[in-house]
Amino acid sequence: MSPSISIAEAAARFVRALEAERDLSPHTVAAYRRDLEEFTDWASRGKVVSLGAVTRPGLRRFVAFLGSRGLARRSIARKASALRSFMRWSVEKSLIVKDPSEGLETPKLDRPLPKVLRAHDAAALMELPPDDDAIGLRDRAVLELLYGAGLRVGELTGLDVDDVDLRHRSMSVTGKGRKQRRLPIGSAAARAVEAYLAGARAELAAKAKGSHTPALFLNRDGKRLGSRSVRSLMDRYALAEGLPRVGPHALRHSFATHLLDNGADLRAVQELLGHESLSTTQIYTHVSTERLRSVYEQSHPRA
């Protein structure tokens, strides 16, 4: 054990461990770094430099300090979560004996209901990309897979050609934490992907300079399509037709909600989405309830 290690040094080691051991985005790692640097600076102003000198009351005072700055509850909860992860890791690495963040309370969050497209709006969006050019065929396949399989945008852009088995209408998807799951491909999505692979992808790949990528979806330069480009193409079609402006994740939300609306089992939806916890999937039951309430209030004469 290293009782004399400083908070700053321990935090730096923790961030390096995040970069090396976990499959986190650079943005997430940078957020951890900023949150821990903020705590380190605050603690040093109170003459607390050693990691072993951090106490639960001290952490509570830090949370109260964050609240006094007028930070949103969600921001405070994120910073507290970073501290808990850091302290648990410090115990695992024998840098401290006891976790001072155990039982640390943070502001309760009102979890907002996800944005969901109505079924006919989702269907209309699928039909917007033209089917007579390479970009349009690509975009139609992108939208059909996002909505038809409930993919995260990173899962979609990470697909390679070999991940898709059109003969058996299935695909291998790499989700969070590099965990893989096998998903079915619906008939509409299969037709869209097949049409894209029939010639559009080769046309885009021909524009690449140098080595070719195994990526399923390519941009105008023949390189792997990025998440930002997916968001951009969705904005472009939605704005052109006056549809609700939503991001790629709204199609994932719509996928789950429409499945539940039509009687799908919650645990089956959990597996399709790749959620580790059923509680994460249960947010969609609330969405469905809200939709039912809306229909009731608009339709029932005694509502």
State the residue for tokens 């969901």.
116
Give the active site residue among 140, 252, 253, 258. 252
Torsion of CA 291, 294, 299, 303, to 10 degrees: 130
Distance (Å, whole) CA 120 – CA 261:
14
The answer to whether 77 touches 53, Cβ cutoff 8 Å, is no
Distance (Å, whole) CA 142 – CA 131:
13
Give the active site residue among 152, 201, 253, 258. 152
Q: 176 catalytic, yes or no?
A: yes
Q: 231 catalytic, yes or no?
A: no
Distance (Å, whole) CA 136 – CA 69:
48
Q: 120 catalytic, yes or no?
A: no
Distance (Å, whole) CA 119 – CA 139:
19
Task: Dig out the tokens for 282 from the structure.
Answer: 């249960």
Q: 27 catalytic, yes or no?
A: no
Q: 179 catalytic, yes or no?
A: no
Task: Dig out the tokens for 190 from the structure.
Answer: 């299969």
Closest CA to 169 of 139, 194, 203, 135: 194
Helices (H) and strands (E) counted in the chain, each on its own, are: 14, 3
Give the active site residue among 60, 115, 223, 249. 249
Task: Dig out the tokens for 30 from the structure.
Answer: 């940078």
Give the active site residue among 32, 196, 237, 284. 284
Neighbours of 149 (CB within 10 A): 22
Give the active site residue among 176, 212, 220, 267. 176
Residues annotated as catalytic are: 152, 176, 249, 252, 275, 284
